Structure 1
Amino acid sequence: MSQRKLQTESHTQLKWHEEELQPCDKSIEEVSADSGYGVLLRLTWLKMDMLAGLTVGMTTIPQALAYAEVAGLPVQYGLYSSFMGGFVYCVFGTSKDITLGPTAIMSLLCFWYIRGDPVYAVVLTLLCGVVQLAMALLRLGFLLDFISYPVIKGFTCAAAVTIGFGQVKNILGVKDVPQQFFLQVYYTFQKLPEARVGDVILGLFCLFFLLMMTMMKRSLDTVEDNPSPVVMGSRRLVWTLATIRNALVVIAATCVAYSFEVTGHDFFTLTGKTAAGLPPFSAPPLSETTANGTHISFGKIATDLGGGLAVIPLMGVLESIAIAKAFGTQRPFLFFTHHVCIIINANQELFAIGLTNILGSFVSAYPVTGSFGRTAVNSQTGACTPAGGIVTGVLVILSLAFLMPLFSFVPKASLAAIIICAVGPMIEFSVPPRIWRVRKLDLLPFSITFLLSFWEVQYGIVGGVLVSGFMLLYQMARPDLKVTDHGVLLMELGSGLHFPAVEHFSGVLHTHALHISPPRCVVLDCQHVSSMDYTVVNELRDLLKQFQLHGVSLVFSGLKGSVLEVLIAADLPGFTHTHSVEAGLQILITNPNYD
């Protein structure tokens, strides 16, 4: 299997290339402790991490401004949410690639619960962090296993459509469009005659530029091997420009908008006034007093957040751990002569993201998670440790300290173009056909999640999980039972046997063996049964008595050691077992009344 690996040239230069994946023989700690490599390793990794951190920072700043718009918050809140993760994850994270910060999906989820109120956003961040930290300490990460792949894909596809179409109004420059998706579609088309020419032209130009740079970056993979120095230099230039394309768009659009503003021409819809400087480091507000003097207590805020206190922490952790594991398994690398292992600890990842959110609430952040796009940039730039997040965090802090007045001139159309291009790849048209080919029934939770998410995101997730759960319970209650005739009946259990399946299992045995004339002996192939509960054992006791009353035998074969111990301890009347199906068939064929 081909993987990207990090190798060295002349012990100083690092490069990515394709090679066969080989087993790891050392951990990062073991390699860095090696006196022969330690100093050079640290210097080389420092250089690569600084480069990766700067590159990710150039991607983070424009995306943070754009995602704050999705969350319905002033743009500075995107930056408030973008630096704490780099510092915390550097200490507590287990992946060298992952970057924590605002994302499109998390921003959309937050929008449904905070409704544009910064106080609600900060309280939600604090409570999400507490929930995630508690999950880490109690090792509850297994709960994420109940969210199936079709549910995740149905949600992400619907979220991408919702987020992307939600930015069309900013491309058109129209206002007063409702946020509910179906109303948004209706009023966006209704307000087409009100579109501002300046916003439309700028937005379309930004979209064209971003798409062109994305396509150019993808085309780099098709260039021939061993290119000339000129070609290599051109490829690096294109790769760099394509990587920081979001920053280039924001800078260019802001310059254009500012030049028109100073000449008195109002052609573009701008972000508007932003709060200058760094956010104060203070305890998160636990209550709020509205403009009309109404006091909203912490209990009321928590009640209003409702299901968001479960949905947002779970989705944040799910997204972050999935990304960390993906890049942890796909990016092991070779340093000098050692294959360095990147080991992802799910509970440690839970702890890192939970602590990030708790500390983020002290700097007015809204909930964050791992970003797939920025993590990919971090990995492709050659990050060697999570320390690149510190460089990214410092870059965001500097932008907050010195550039905030300029951000008020950022056109909303340029941010909308960035968001649309960011979420576009999340709409995977190939997923439904793939699910259809593999297992048609899995299209049901996918479709339920996808459709309900347009109503409200949490309904889509809950609906998909419930449908997947019912499908799983049905499979447990109706396990695959294959009955064949070998002179005596052979029943093969295709999966485990637990209490929901007792009635079905008993009914099949009665139908095929006891309720016919003459009754038939049965060999029960249990090689796929790994455990049995008391309900099953109790039903087996009754079945063995029924077989004895009908003068036929029920023989168990292929029992695992743990299951055999349970059945022996139950002291079942007439219990007989063999090591193999063949032995059981041979016994009953030669002696039908064997007991």
Structure 2
Amino acid sequence: MKLSLKDIFPIFEWLPNYNKSWLKGDLSAGLTVGIMLVPQGIAYAMIAGLPPIYGLYTAMIPQIIYAIFGTSRQLAVGPVAMDSLIVASGVATLAEIGTENFIEFAILLAFMMGVLQVIFGLFKLGFLVNFLSRPVISGFTSAAALIIAFSQLKHLLGVNIQGDNKLHSIVIALFQHLKDINYIAFAIGGISILILIFFKRITTKIPAALIVVVFGILVVKYLKLDEAGVQIIGNIPEGLPSFKMPSFNIEIMKELFPIALTLSFIAFLEAISVAKAIELKHNNTYKVIANKELIALGMGNIIGSFFQTYPATGGLSRSAVNNQVGAKTPMAAIIASVVIGFTLLFLTPVFYYLPKSIIAAIIIVAVYGLLDFKVPKQILKYSKRELIILNSTLIVTAVVGIKEGIFIGVILSMAMLIYRSTKPHIAILGKVSGTHFYRNIKRFEGLLEVNEAILIVRFDAQLYFANVQYFKDKLEEYVIEKGENLKLIIIDGESINSIDSSGVYMLYEIIKKYNNLNIDIVFTGMKGPVRDVFEKSEIMKEISYKNCFMSIQEAVDSFDKNSNNKENGRNFIKYVKQTNR
């Protein structure tokens, strides 16, 4: 298939057709998101253990690249809290936070993550993210939110502690330093939290983070609170990011690979879920293409790493504001990047007196929205096994580590999937009186017609090596329950979508076994892929087409007809014998 320029660079789809009426919305959204990104970029860089300037670089470069390659018109790309935490926890095992090596490894991580995302996109492997089930995502997200929030308490309280990204370690360290609380810093942070919550409830169009940033800078500068022990950001270098090759080190890349792989999936999941949600609000005026999104995010991280950015993805709060304020195209992202560029060139000295307690307040309010209370409440009602997966992921992530938490969650999800497939739902069917419909006799107990000579079984899964023994055992159990009157077994294949060689051999066995007991086996509603296997494996010769029916009712009617013919035959023979006496 021939690719057009639009397929490779989606910007050529919307830019040549740009409508001047869109500019007002794009300009307004771009300015708003750009202003939001300044304090967010600084804040998220602190979570990642990086100097603030790298948060601003990451807020600028990936957005421009995404505008060229991305398929969403409103997704706002840049640093996010969760990914910043993963960067900090992963890179901290290789280098001390804040050191030159730490910065180099974080930038290299962005490059590796980007390469993986592009590869996944080119080979259309976006479906792999489906292995992160909803309970795993919920547990991981809530644990990450707790870790981020607690890790910022040291800035909110104005205490100096050395801690890792394990929740219990952070809590213990905080208790040990309660006597060192700087109550001025705590008051500034507390007031900032109240302002952020207040404005969020009134409107999302006003950048509340900017208001508290200005408030903090003015209060600290003119009251000289830095001399009273209030921790401030200090010097932020001026100027746009320069071109610089990431430091490629094979040994370090091997160590970073698990983190890069984790980030590539988590970041894509964050971005695609936000992009799809916003797409629905625009009545499909454009289409978000998952594999192209992978390439766009990957290219943003690859190219960004050459301009000293750390891992970036689509942010929920920024994208929501971008959409609400009126963004029509990725031109809004380009305008937001210009705002960041202007800040880097001229406004970084303004942030010298910005107190760290305000940055902590911004982060804490932002990550509160990541705490997921809804999913645990819902699955508690209908799936306690999945609740175990959720809680296991949450606890392991919070106490042991992020990689380990995700790994445990995925393994438990796969184990539960395999377990369920080994013992799928199987039902005995009875006839709904006066109709041709057949339903589960356990769900409609006493309301269905059941023929003692017929056993109708529906197996609601594929027949494969892991569950053939279960099918065989359950069938034998049902046959014994039916007793000596049983003459026919009907296997309803409506829910069997595939069958492997183990299933084929099992069917050979049961057909021979029950035929020897003068019990016929017939099949109804078999799907095309299953019939294909029957033909190729030659089991159809064993079954024969006369024992295959379109519906259960046809199989029952055929049995009744044959039974009547046999009865008529026996009556005829009896009559002949009597007349010949």
Aligned to 2:82: 105
For residues 226 and 536 of structure 2, what CA distance do their matches in structure 1 show?
Answer: 89
Q: Let me know the Cα RMSD of the aligned residues.
A: 2.4
Aligned to 1:224: none
Aligned to 1:501: 467
For residues 386 and 476 of structure 1, what CA distance do their matches in structure 2 show?
Answer: 44
Aligned to 1:271: 233
SS at match of 2:306: helix
Aligned to 2:409: 464
Aligned to 1:158: 143
Give the 3 Å change call, closer, same or farther, for CA 91–306 of structure 1 in structure 2.
closer
For residues 355 and 100 of structure 1, what CA distance do their matches in structure 2 show?
Answer: 12
For residues 315 and 463 of structure 1, what CA distance do their matches in structure 2 show?
Answer: 15
For residues 592 and 560 of structure 1, what CA distance do their matches in structure 2 show?
Answer: 28
Aligned to 1:130: 115
Give the 3 Å change call, closer, same or farther, for CA 520–436 of structure 1 in structure 2.
farther
**1:28–1:342 Cα contact (<8 Å) kept:** no
Structure 1 position 514, deviation (Å): 6.6
Deviations 1:64-113 (A, max 9, x none): 10011111111111111111122112111111110111001111111111
- 171-180 or 561-570, which moves further after superposition? 561-570
Q: Are 2:128 and 1:143 aligned?
A: yes
Structure number with greater CO (CA < 8 Å, separation at least 6) is: 1
Gaps spanning 5+ residues in structure 2: where? 1-9, 430-449, 566-581
Structure 1 position 433, deviation (Å): 1.3
1:347-366 alignment, distance < 5 Å = 347-366=291-310
Structure 1 position 321, deviation (Å): 1.0
Deviations 1:18-44 (A, max 9, x none): xxxxxxxxx9999999xxxx6xx7111
SS at match of 1:265: helix
Aligned to 1:3: none
Structure 1 position 259, deviation (Å): 2.2
Deviations 1:503-544 (A, max 9, x none): 111111222227985365310011112222222122212221
For residues 204 and 486 of structure 1, what CA distance do their matches in structure 2 show?
Answer: 73
- 582-591 or 485-494, which moves further after superposition? 582-591
TM-score (norm 2): 0.85
For residues 495 and 516 of structure 1, what CA distance do their matches in structure 2 show?
Answer: 24
Gaps spanning 5+ residues in structure 1: where? 1-26, 218-238, 287-297, 333-339
Structure 1 position 176, deviation (Å): 1.9
Structure 1 position 309, deviation (Å): 2.2
Of 216, 220, 225, the match for 1:253: 216
Which of the two has higher C-alpha Rg? 2
Aligned to 1:586: 557
For residues 259 and 29 of structure 1, what CA distance do their matches in structure 2 show?
Answer: 50
**2:146–2:167 Cα contact (<8 Å) kept:** no
**1:530–1:562 Cα contact (<8 Å) kept:** yes
Deviations 1:165-220 (A, max 9, x none): 11111111001241232111011122111001221111111111111111222xxx
* Amino acid in the other structure paired with 2:416: M
Structure 1 position 153, deviation (Å): 1.0
SS at match of 2:235: coil
**1:514–1:550 Cα contact (<8 Å) kept:** no
For residues 369 and 461 of structure 1, what CA distance do their matches in structure 2 show?
Answer: 19
For residues 520 and 563 of structure 2, what CA distance do their matches in structure 1 show?
Answer: 7
**1:67–1:419 Cα contact (<8 Å) kept:** yes
Q: Are 2:269 and 1:318 aligned?
A: yes
SS at match of 1:389: helix
**1:276–1:400 Cα contact (<8 Å) kept:** yes
1:227-238 alignment, distance < 5 Å = none
Q: Are 2:391 and 1:447 aligned?
A: yes
SS at match of 2:219: helix
1:7-22 alignment, distance < 5 Å = none
- 188-197 or 423-432, which moves further after superposition? 423-432
Aligned to 1:281: 243
* Amino acid in the other structure paired with 1:580: S
Residue identity over aligned pairs, in percent, reads 32
Aligned to 1:486: 451
Give the 3 Å change call, closer, same or farther, for CA 259–375 of structure 1 in structure 2.
same
1:6-405 alignment, distance < 5 Å = 42-115=19-92, 116=97, 117-179=102-164, 180-217=166-203, 240=205, 243-261=206-224, 265-286=227-248, 298-332=249-283, 341-405=285-349
**2:122–2:295 Cα contact (<8 Å) kept:** yes
For residues 250 and 480 of structure 1, what CA distance do their matches in structure 2 show?
Answer: 58
Aligned to 2:436: none
Aligned to 1:577: 548
- 179-188 or 477-486, which moves further after superposition? 477-486
**2:456–2:491 Cα contact (<8 Å) kept:** yes
- 159-168 or 422-431, which moves further after superposition? 422-431
For residues 461 and 544 of structure 1, what CA distance do their matches in structure 2 show?
Answer: 45
For residues 52 and 213 of structure 2, what CA distance do their matches in structure 1 show?
Answer: 13
For residues 486 and 324 of structure 1, what CA distance do their matches in structure 2 show?
Answer: 54
